[in-house]
């Protein structure tokens, strides 16, 4: 016999279980609020295929993974400081100065004392036409730096010449010789610089150094035959064109002294005097300028100008051969032969190639009755005349050129006895 209460309880339980099953199936079909696409991904994953949206998720996860890679590994791809310096050099060679400067400045912030970066900064500034700034960068490089000191000083001297700061350029070249010894390129640059200013005697000291070093050119040797005339191995037209009126206090440099001497030997005394007066005003402390000024006044036989000149001479004037030649000629013209002989003697001690000084000394000796001494001095002057003429003719006739060079050795040796004839012959290739 069935217990009715129990049956009723069982039926209620069955209905309750049915409702629960219905609810669960509904939730499953609804995906617990998930989209149909997610259900498809689940199904697809079971079947082994990956939908496009899933690929995007994978890519995102890979990017995130890469972002957490050890930073030290990433640094392997960054350029080194050396590579960045090379890049600055490349930009510089392409005249892309703004880009080169920007990159180089950022590197200088990290290494403000780097000679390489300072040199690059100087080149950039020079490329932009900012030479004064370029010079300041080069001055920041220690001269005693084992690698950068010498090239920095050399470039500094060249750029100082470029902007007309000749005294600073000369001092820089002298410092290079003092620090690094007898360097032929530096002696040659000094010779060119001094010759360009008409300072022939001083230039010859550096040509003599080139002879000792065995690195001298034929033109440099021939330039030693007469030091009292201007010499310019480069652009001769630059010395001959224009007049004294072409220059003012803003553009005048000591190189115009060579121009003034050129005018003088061409007997253009008016132009020479105009230019030397401007030079004296611009460079009152220059002994070489003051010495040549006296020679111009004596050529004009202007006693008034000579008296004024002699009362306002700079220091070291007595080291200038042209000063003594001017004094000697002035004294000779005033019939003061003894004083003239002493002055000419000082002149040829400084410049043993001054033919005018020897000629006038012979005249003064003759006035004193020293005829034999006068004759010896005239012979010396004639030897110098011969050397000068041969130097002018060398290369004009190729058939006699070698013979002219051989004949030139002896008078040149007499003019510069301390060099020795054999040494000169070796340098001439004979």
Q: Which tens digit of pLDDT belongs to each residue from 171-190?
A: 999 999 999 999 999 999 99
What band does 43 get if pLDDT is binned at 50, 70 and 90? very low
The per-residue pLDDT for range 83-116, each reduced to its tens digit, is 888 998 899 989 999 999 999 999 999 999 999 9
pLDDT in tens, 337-357: 999 999 999 999 999 989 999
User: Across residues 352-375, what is the average pLDDT?
Assistant: 93
pLDDT of residue 77: 60
Q: How confident is the prediction for the chain on average, in pLDDT?
A: 78
What is the pLDDT, as a whole number, of residue 340?
96
* Whether pLDDT at 369 is above 70: yes
Q: Which residue has the higher pLDDT, 10 or 383?
A: 383
pLDDT mean over 40-59: 47
pLDDT at 412 over 60: no
Range 406-419 burial, b when 16+ CB lie within 10 A, else e: eebbebbbbbbeeb
| pLDDT for res 76 | 52
| Between 55 and 196, residue with greater pLDDT | 196
Which tokens sit at 296? 């111009």
Could you tell me how far CA 93 lies from the centroid of its own chain? 17
Going along the chain from its start, the domains and CATH numbers come out as: 81-225 (1.25.40.10), 233-319 (1.25.40)
Reported as a pLDDT band with limits 50, 70 and 90, residue 218 is confident
pLDDT for 80? 87
Identify the pLDDT of residue 216: 84
> H helices within 164-302, ranges in order?
166-180, 184-196, 200-213, 218-222, 236-240, 256-265, 269-282, 287-299
pLDDT for residue 48 is more than 70 = no
Between these two residues, 25 and 336, which has the higher pLDDT value?
336
Structure tokens at 30: 């609804």
333 sits in which H/E element? helix 321-333
Per-residue pLDDT, 118: 95
The predicted pLDDT at position 325 comes to 95
Could you give the CA distance from residue 80 to residue 201 in angstroms, rounded to a whole number? Answer: 52
pLDDT at 160 over 60: yes
| Higher pLDDT, residue 53 or 344 | 344
Looking at residues 351-368, what average pLDDT do you find? 93
| Average pLDDT, integer, range 128-156 | 94
pLDDT of residue 38: 46
Of residues 321 and 239, the one with the higher pLDDT is 321
Q: What is the pLDDT of residue 228?
A: 75
Where is pLDDT greater, at 211 or 396?
A: 211
- What average pLDDT does range 414-418 have in this prediction? 51
Task: Please give the backbone phi and psi of residue 280, each rounded to the nearest 5 degrees, phi first.
Answer: -65, -35
pLDDT at position 251 = 72
Sign of the four-CA dihedral 168, 135, 215, 253:
negative
Task: Say yes or no to pLDDT of 52 above 70.
Answer: no
pLDDT average, residue stretch 31-51:
45
pLDDT band per the 50, 70, 90 thresholds, residue 227 = confident
Whether 409 has a pLDDT exceeding 80, the answer reads no
């Amino acid at each position: 016999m069935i217990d009715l209460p129990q049956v009723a309880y069982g039926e209620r339980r069955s209905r309750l279980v049915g409702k629960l099953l219905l609810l669960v199936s509904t939730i499953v079909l609804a995906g617990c609020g998930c989209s149909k696409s997610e259900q498809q991904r689940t199904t697809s994953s079971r079947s082994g295929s990956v939908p496009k949206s899933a690929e995007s998720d994978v890519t995102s996860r890979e990017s995130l993974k890469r972002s957490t890679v050890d930073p030290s590994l990433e640094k392997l791809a960054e350029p080194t400081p050396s590579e960045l310096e090379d890049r600055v050099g490349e930009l510089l060679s392409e005249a892309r100065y703004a880009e080169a400067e920007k990159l180089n400045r950022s590197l200088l912030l990290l290494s403000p004392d780097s000679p390489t970066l300072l040199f690059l900064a100087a080149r950039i500034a020079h490329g932009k036409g900012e030479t004064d700034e370029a010079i300041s960068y080069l001055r920041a490089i220690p001269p005693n730096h084992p690698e950068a000191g010498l090239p920095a000083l050399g470039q500094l001297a060249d750029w100082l010449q470029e902007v007309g700061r000749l005294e600073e350029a000369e001092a820089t070249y002298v410092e290079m010789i003092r620090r690094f010894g007898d360097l032929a390129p530096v002696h040659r640059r000094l010779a060119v610089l001094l010759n360009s200013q008409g300072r022939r005697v001083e230039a010859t000291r550096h040509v003599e150094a080139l002879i000792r070093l065995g690195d001298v050119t034929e033109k440099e040797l021939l330039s030693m035959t007469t030091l009292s005339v201007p010499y310019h191995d480069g652009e001769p037209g630059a010395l001959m064109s224009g007049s004294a009126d072409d220059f003012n206090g803003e553009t005048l440099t000591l190189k115009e002294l060579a121009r003034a001497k050129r005018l003088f030997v061409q007997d253009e005394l008016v132009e020479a005097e105009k230019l030397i007066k401007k030079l004296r005003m611009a460079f009152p402390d220059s002994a070489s300028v003051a010495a040549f000024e006296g020679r111009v006044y004596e050529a004009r036989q202007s006693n008034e100008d000579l008296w004024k000149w002699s009362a306002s001479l700079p220091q070291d004037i007595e080291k200038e051969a042209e000063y003594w030649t001017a004094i000697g000629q002035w004294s000779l013209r005033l019939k003061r032969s003894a004083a003239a002989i002493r002055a000419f003697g000082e002149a040829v001690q400084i410049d043993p190639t001054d033919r005018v000084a020897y000629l006038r000394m012979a005249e003064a000796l003759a006035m004193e009755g020293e005829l034999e001494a006068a004759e010896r001095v005239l012979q010396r002057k004639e030897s110098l005349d011969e050397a000068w003429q041969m130097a002018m003719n060398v290369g004009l006739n190729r058939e006699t050129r070698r013979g002219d060079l051989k004949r030139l050795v002896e008078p040149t040796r007499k003019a510069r006895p301390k060099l020795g004839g054999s040494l000169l012959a070796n340098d001439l290739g004979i």
